[in-house]
Amino acid sequence: MTTVPTWVSIAEQFTDPAETRFELAPAADQSSDELTMEMPIGRWRTPATGALSAGLLAMLVDSAGGTANFLAYGADRVTVTTELSVDLLVPLPSGRVARSSGRTVARDGATAMARSTITVDGAEVGHGIVRTAALGGMTPLDGLPEDTVEGSDRDDLVRMLGLGGPVDGDHDAVAALADPCLQNGVGIVHGGIIVAAAETVAAATMNRSREVSLATGSIRANYLRPMAVGGEARYEARILRAGRSTAIVDVTAVGADGKAAAVVRVTGYAPGR
């Protein structure tokens, strides 16, 4: 079982541009043996609904669960996320600080799974699962790139996630802009960034022309290969169902090489129904 002083010490040794951009940090709670990460969630709202970003909660889950799994292997092998899920218990309230725990609950020689509890200002709002694979041959970054997002732009979720305009006029395909601060600690786009961007695009797609906004209830992500942004990279949304009180949207993250890097399914529900 990982103790708090141990994992905080290890976590602080690593450089992660995406988590630095979104101000993720270890939450050192000496009363708990769970690995917990926190971020100032209140700064970032989903443009389509005005609600706190459910996608950024997935980024927290990815960080806490992924780090827990990394430590479960003795911190001697790089781990990458292969699957991630988030289930929200309630429509997200207003709040300032979000936290996600991470506890490894299963592990073998190839993969590990961590379970998380998500809170906003101390109130439980959801649960998450992260499955990771242990790999070799990946080199950690040795420093942070310069972050060119400054001033009031740092409160703009779309800008922070590197989302551009519609691709070829298609409002359900949004450009993924080149930005080195979207990388994780081994130089590929952070899995949490992919999910947060995909959920932001899905929220816009499912809420287009609606009088009452749907709130994200669940997120399911499968990672297929590393993603590079810039060039033709984009997030493509496809509505699978759009009813009065629920919607299901699949978002494919397509890398600069034109290949699908991840598929993210977002389900939205009308609050109170």
The end-to-end CA distance of the chain, in Å, is 41
- CATH number for the domain harbouring residue 115: 2.40.160.210
Tell whether 249 is covered by a domain: yes
Q: What's the CA gap between 160 and 230, in Å, rounded?
A: 15
pLDDT in the model for residue 222: 98
CA–CA distances in Å: residue 229 to residues 18, 73, 126, 210: 13, 30, 30, 31
| Total number of domains in the chain | 1
The residues with which 52 forms a beta bridge, in sequence order, are: 45
Question: How buried is residue 104: exposed, middle or buried, by Cβ count under 10 Å (0-12/13-18/19+)?
Answer: buried
Helix (H, G, I), strand (E, B) or coil at 204: helix
Tell whether 145 is covered by a domain: no
Q: pLDDT tens track of the chain, all 273 residues? A: 344 445 555 555 557 899 999 999 988 665 556 789 999 999 999 999 999 999 999 999 999 999 899 888 887 777 889 999 999 998 888 899 999 999 999 999 899 999 999 999 999 999 999 999 987 666 777 788 999 999 999 999 999 999 999 998 778 999 999 999 999 888 889 999 999 999 999 999 999 989 889 999 999 999 999 999 999 999 999 999 999 999 999 999 999 999 999 999 999 999 875
Tell whether 146 is covered by a domain: no
Residue 198 sits at φ, ψ, to 5 deg, of -65, -40
Neighbours of 94 (CB within 10 A): 12
Q: Which tokens sit at 224?
A: 């297929």
pTM recorded for the entire structure: 0.93
Q: Could you tell me the residue range of the domain that residue 158 belongs to? A: 4-137+154-269
Tell whether 144 is covered by a domain: no
Helix (H, G, I), strand (E, B) or coil at 54: helix
Tell whether 230 is covered by a domain: yes
Beta-strand runs (E) in the chain: 25-26, 35-39, 78-88, 98-107, 111-120, 123-135, 163-167, 170-176, 215-223, 234-242, 246-254, 260-269
pLDDT in the model for residue 183: 92
Tell whether 25 is covered by a domain: yes
Q: Where are the alpha helices (DSSP H) in 12-130?
A: 17-21, 54-72
Tell whether 143 is covered by a domain: no
Contact status, residue 223 vs residue 261, Cβ threshold 8 Å: yes
Nearest 5°: the CA angle 64, 15, 96 is 50
Tell whether 182 is covered by a domain: yes
